[in-house]
C-alpha cells in the first residue's frame, strides 16, 4: 500500500511539474525573445506574409522559387521524402521538377540547374537558397517584371547572407525576404 501511495504522489508531482510549471516557464522565457516567442515574422504593408525561418512555395514567374518541399511546406509535418536516389518515384518527381523548371526558364540547360532547386531538403521547410540558385532565376524574373537583370542581381547581392564568422556554413538567401524586396522594387 505504501508503494502505491508513493507512485500516485510521484505521478501527481510529475504531472504538475511537466504539464504546468515547465510550460509556464518556457512561455515566460519566450516573452523575452524577439516578437515574444512568435517567430520572426516578415510583414509587407502591415500584413504578415510569412516567417523568416519557414520556407514557402513560390511558383509565379515573377518570384524566386524556393527549394521544393516533400511535405508541402507544412511546419506541423516537417520531414524529407525518405526515398533513396534510386527510387523510381523519387526519380520521377525530380525529373518533373526539372521539366517544370526548364519550361519556365527556357534559356537554362539542364546541367546548369542547382540540385537544391529540384530536390527537397531533409526538413521540407528550407527558407533559404544559395546565391547560385537565385542567379539562375534572374532572366525569368527580369522578363516577367520587365526590369533590368542588373537590378535583380543587385537585389540578390544585397540579400546574400555571408557564412557565420566568414567560415561556418555556405552563403544563403532567404527566399521570402528576397521576394518581398523584389515586390518593393520600382
Q: What does 100-167 look like in DSSP terms, one character per residue?
A: HHHHH-TTS-GGGS-GGGTS--SSS---EE-HHHHHTTHHHHHHHHT--HHHHHHHHHHHEEPPBTTT
**What is the pTM assigned to this prediction?**
0.75
124 and 147 co-located in one domain: yes
User: Per-residue pLDDT tens for 57-76?
Assistant: 888 999 999 999 888 887 77
CA distances from 39 to 25, 26, 29 (A): 18, 14, 14
163 and 76 co-located in one domain: yes
26 and 45 co-located in one domain: no
CA distances from 174 to 14, 72, 110, 128, 129 (A): 42, 18, 24, 4, 7
State the pLDDT at residue 160: 94
Which of helix, strand or coil describes residue 62?
A: coil
144 and 168 co-located in one domain: yes
89 and 129 co-located in one domain: yes
HSE (side-chain half, CA atoms, 13 Å) at 77: 7
7 and 74 co-located in one domain: no
User: Per-residue pLDDT tens for 129-180?
Assistant: 999 999 999 999 999 999 999 999 999 999 999 988 878 989 999 999 999 9
DSSP state of 37: G
CA distances from 178 to 32, 104, 162, 163, 170 (A): 28, 19, 15, 18, 17
State the pLDDT at residue 95: 95
State the pLDDT at residue 173: 93
Q: What mean pLDDT, rounded, does the chain reach?
A: 88
DSSP state of 50: E
34 and 44 co-located in one domain: no
Whole-angstrom distance, CA of residue 20 vs CA of residue 134: 46
Segment 110-131 shows an average pLDDT of 88
Whole-angstrom distance, CA of residue 184 vs CA of residue 172: 21
Q: How many domains does the chain have?
A: 2
Name the residue range of residue 139's domain.
39-184
Residue 43 has pLDDT above 80, yes or no: no
Amino acid at each position: 500500500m505504501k508503494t502505491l501511495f508513493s507512485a500516485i504522489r510521484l505521478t501527481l508531482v510529475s504531472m504538475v511539474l511537466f504539464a504546468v510549471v515547465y510550460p509556464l516557464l518556457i512561455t515566460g522565457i519566450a516573452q523575452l525573445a524577439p516578437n515574444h516567442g512568435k517567430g520572426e515574422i516578415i510583414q509587407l504593408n502591415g500584413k504578415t506574409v510569412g516567417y523568416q525561418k519557414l520556407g514557402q512555395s513560390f511558383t509565379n514567374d515573377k518570384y524566386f522559387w524556393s527549394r521544393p518541399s516533400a511535405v508541402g511546406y507544412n511546419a506541423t509535418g516537417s520531414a524529407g521524402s525518405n526515398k533513396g536516389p534510386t527510387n523510381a518515384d523519387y526519380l520521377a518527381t525530380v525529373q518533373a521538377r526539372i521539366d517544370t523548371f526548364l519550361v519556365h526558364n527556357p534559356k537554362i540547360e539542364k546541367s546548369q540547374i542547382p540540385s537544391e532547386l529540384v530536390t527537397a531538403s531533409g526538413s521540407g521547410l528550407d527558407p533559404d537558397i544559395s546565391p547560385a540558385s537565385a542567379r539562375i532565376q534572374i532572366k525569368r524574373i527580369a522578363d516577367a517584371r520587365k526590369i533590368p537583370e542588373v537590378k535583380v542581381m543587385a537585389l540578390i547581392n544585397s540579400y546574400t547572407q555571408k557564412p557565420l564568422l566568414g567560415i561556418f556554413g555556405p552563403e544563403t538567401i532567404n527566399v521570402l525576404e528576397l521576394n518581398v524586396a523584389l515586390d518593393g522594387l520600382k
